[in-house]
């Protein structure tokens, strides 16, 4: 399908190139200004015929851009609603181009579509997706569903932020009663200093502030979990304040849990630690960052920055209690996330997760996999993605990654990113800009056996 759409773009632009040069001084500058003062690019702004033709050319360009803007054809089959619309928009571009250039590409386009089969249903081709009734085509392999995007932090929560507790379960009940079968959330990884989940500093971990403290009380790990006055229902989340309040409670709960070797969750905890191959690096990163005042990892002493084995072993010995606390908190997250997923399944609601395609430079992912990213001698990122952060979905001034997210292609820890406890049964990626190559690069190798399919 991508090859066909590329052919449409190249053919239509070639067919209309003469017309575009006649109409505009710089045609694609006019296209880029189409939401503003595009008329200043006209060669003959006073000619109504030229203006009408120019508007037609801009409509063609709009369609050529729109036919790429859906996420659906990256992850779904041809008969998904979004790919059908993409193909229909491509056909619209061809027909409008014909009016301008006199060249007809429709028959060749249809022949190309006929050769693109569905991967899931016999008799469904891209041609039928364009020509057939949307409901008939979509219904051939799937049931249409409704969904809601609602991140956990936006739910009701007694500590000034939504979490995986009663507020989340009540929301699932409401979805089920309303006949809504999809719940999409934003990434549930640890957020950055501004609360953005799209520039996480730990790709495989879960955000601790999403842990329900009441469940830890029920588990005998906290005596009580009453939030202080004034933080029950704020208009917006004070992420720094919430982390300080809940963080202290979580450390207390994890410390008590680790002291109770006969606790009923203990076997699950041991299994979690043994299977989470990313966990030790995560705990080391948190402890080292705390020891160095929260500074970026490339500003740590060289022995820690460059991961000197002897120095890291010394940290493992001298700060074993703090490391275990971080493991315990991540276990609490994984346990509650698994419970929420199970509750969604019982109520017939599918949890749809999200993945940012880039990782933060100041992250455990880059620190633990430095050879996979483009870094300078000081270990700072030496290249950034070509696309602005507004298109990647990243928030605020937090830098993007040094290279394309390698979790999809099998670098060390890559499959962990897709199989981590913080992942949903289904997920989508923030991939609008990920379709174009970044300036940075990462070095790829074959995925190790037994590390997940990705």
- Residue 131 to residue 111: CA distance in whole angstroms: 13
Burial environment of residue 257 by CB neighbours within 10 A (0 to 12, 13 to 18, 19 or more): buried
Alpha carbon 220 to its chain centroid, in Å, reads 35
Query: Looking up tokens 């997923």, which residue turns up?
Result: 341
User: What is the tens place of the pLDDT at every residue in 23-81?
Assistant: 999 888 888 876 567 888 888 888 889 889 998 999 999 999 888 876 554 556 676 77
Task: Find, among 47, 87, 49, 64, the residue nearest to 11 by Cα.
Answer: 64
What pLDDT, on the 0 to 100 scale, is given for residue 276?
94
Name the token pair of 340. Answer: 């929420």
Name the token pair of 102. Answer: 């006199």
Handedness of CA 279, 281, 284, 290 (dihedral sign): negative
Pair 208, 254: CB distance under 8 Å: no
* Helix and strand totals (H; E) in the chain: 20, 4
Enumerate the domain spans of the chain. Answer: 2-138, 147-435
What pLDDT, on the 0 to 100 scale, is given for residue 127?
81
In this structure, what are the phi and psi dihedrals at residue 428, rounded to the nearest 5 degrees?
-130, 160
125 DSSP 8-state letter:
B
What pLDDT, on the 0 to 100 scale, is given for residue 123?
62
Pair 351, 202: CB distance under 8 Å: no
Name the token pair of 335. Answer: 């346990």
pLDDT < 70: residue spans in the chain: 34-36, 70-77, 79, 119-123, 132-144, 229-234, 356-358, 383-454
Pair 341, 416: CB distance under 8 Å: no
Partners of 427 in beta bridges:
353
CATH architecture of the domain covering 147-435: Alpha-Beta Barrel (3.20)
What pLDDT, on the 0 to 100 scale, is given for residue 149?
92
- CA 109 to each of CA 15, 105, 129, 274, 384: distance values in angstroms, whole numbers, following the listed order: 14, 6, 13, 53, 37
In this structure, what are the phi and psi dihedrals at residue 254, rounded to the nearest 5 degrees?
-65, -40
- Residue 92 to residue 421: CA distance in whole angstroms: 44
Name the token pair of 165. Answer: 């507790």
- 3-class DSSP assignment, residue 201: coil
Partners of 147 in beta bridges:
182
End-to-end CA distance of the chain: 22
Query: pTM for this structure?
Result: 0.66
Q: Give residues with Cβ within 8 angstroms of 397, minimum separation 6.
A: none
Task: Find, among 173, 120, 225, the residue nearest to 349 by Cα.
Answer: 173
Burial environment of residue 121 by CB neighbours within 10 A (0 to 12, 13 to 18, 19 or more): middle
């Amino acid at each position: 399908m991508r090859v066909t759409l590329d052919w449409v773009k190249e053919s239509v632009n070639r067919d209309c190139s003469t017309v575009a040069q006649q109409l505009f001084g710089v045609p694609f500058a006019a296209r880029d200004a189409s939401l503003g003062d595009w008329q200043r690019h006209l060669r003959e702004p006073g000619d109504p015929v030229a203006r009408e033709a120019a508007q037609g050319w801009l409509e063609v360009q709009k369609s050529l851009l729109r036919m790429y803007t859906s996420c659906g054809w990256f992850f779904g089959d041809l008969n998904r609603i979004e790919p059908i619309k993409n193909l229909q928009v491509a056909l619209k571009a061809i027909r409008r181009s014909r009016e301008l250039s006199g060249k007809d590409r429709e028959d060749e386009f249809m022949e190309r579509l006929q050769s693109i089969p569905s991967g899931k249903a016999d008799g469904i081709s891209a041609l039928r997706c364009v020509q057939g009734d949307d409901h008939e085509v979509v219904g051939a392999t799937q049931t249409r569903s409704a969904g809601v995007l609602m991140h956990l932090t936006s739910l009701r929560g007694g500590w000034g932020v939504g979490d995986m507790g009663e507020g989340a379960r009540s929301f699932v009940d409401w979805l089920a009663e309303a006949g809504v079968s999809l719940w999409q959330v934003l990434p549930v990884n640890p957020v950055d200093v501004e609360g953005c989940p799209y520039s996480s500093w730990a790709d495989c971990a879960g955000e601790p502030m999403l842990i329900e403290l009441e469940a830890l009380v029920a588990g005998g790990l906290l005596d009580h979990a009453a939030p202080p006055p004034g933080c029950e229902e704020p208009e917006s989340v004070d992420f720094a304040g919430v982390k300080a309040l809940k963080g202290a409670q979580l450390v207390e709960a994890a410390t008590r849990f680790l002291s109770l070797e006969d606790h009923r969750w203990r076997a699950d905890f041991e299994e979690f630690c043994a299977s989470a191959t990313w966990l030790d690096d995560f705990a080391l990163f948190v402890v080292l960052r705390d020891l160095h005042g929260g500074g970026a990892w490339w500003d740590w002493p060289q022995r820690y920055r460059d991961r000197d084995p002897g120095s890291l072993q010394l940290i493992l010995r001298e700060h074993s209690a703090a490391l275990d606390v971080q493991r315990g908190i991540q276990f609490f997250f994984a346990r509650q996330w698994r419970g929420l997923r199970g509750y969604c399944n019982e109520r017939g609601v599918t949890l749809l997760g999200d993945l940012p395609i880039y990782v933060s430079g100041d992250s455990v992912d880059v620190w633990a996999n430095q050879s996979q990213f483009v870094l300078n001698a000081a270990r700072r990122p030496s290249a950034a993605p070509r696309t602005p952060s507004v298109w990647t979905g990243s928030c605020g001034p937090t830098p993007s990654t040094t290279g394309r997210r390698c979790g999809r292609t099998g670098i060390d820890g890559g499959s962990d990113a897709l199989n981590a406890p913080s992942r949903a049964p289904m997920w989508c990626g923030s991939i609008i800009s990920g379709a174009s190559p970044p300036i940075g690069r990462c070095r790829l190798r074959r995925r190790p056996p037994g590390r997940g399919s990705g």
